Amino acid sequence: MDPLEQLLAERACERVVLDFVHRLDLGEPSSVAELFTQDGIWEWPAPGDCRRSEGREQLRKYFGSRPADRLSRRIMSNIRVTVTSADTAEATSYFTTYRVDGYTGGMVPPGAPVQVGHYQDAFRKVDGTWLLASRTLFLPFGGPTTRLPG
């Protein structure tokens, strides 16, 4: 793979990582499923809660089940993509999540983040498009989501 192809592959995978959080926070959460391969996997292994969704339909259902009154903002950083072949890549990315339930509009006083962790991703190029083949959550810092009064 020549350097330009590698750079383009890295950037395409970075964009998938950023599109993922954009869709969760500002878009339609269930559309996150379209960023995965048909057989894509999202999981939170032990010591997490062992949650796992496999395939676009399960992913659409899982991400689409978020409460309608949830306000979240995720900050992604340290996105490191390694292209492993012309059609595969891996990445590690760090995130911080601010989240409340019961949101009805306006500005919310800032609080501590409810999650700080990282993702391990595997990408596969399908019909010229880079997609998540798997996304694994690692969450060393986590707490409950606050419910706003109202």
What is the structure's pLDDT at 150? Answer: 79
Reply yes or no on whether the pLDDT at 147 is more than 90: yes
**Contact (CB, 8 A) for 136 and 119:** yes
13-48 per-position pLDDT tens digit: 999 999 999 999 998 999 999 999 999 999 999 999
pLDDT at site 3: 96
| Phi-psi map region of 56: left, alpha, beta (phi>0 left; psi -120 to 50 alpha) | alpha
Q: Rounded CA gap, 108 and 105, in Å? A: 8
- Note the pLDDT of residue 30: 97
Predicted confidence at residue 44, as pLDDT, reads 96
- Whether 95 has a pLDDT exceeding 90, the answer reads yes
Residue 110 has pLDDT above 90, yes or no: no
The average pLDDT across 106-114 equals 93
pLDDT at 11 over 90: yes
Position 22 scores a pLDDT of 97
Which pLDDT tens digit goes with each residue over 45-86?
A: 999 999 999 999 999 999 999 999 999 999 999 999 999 999
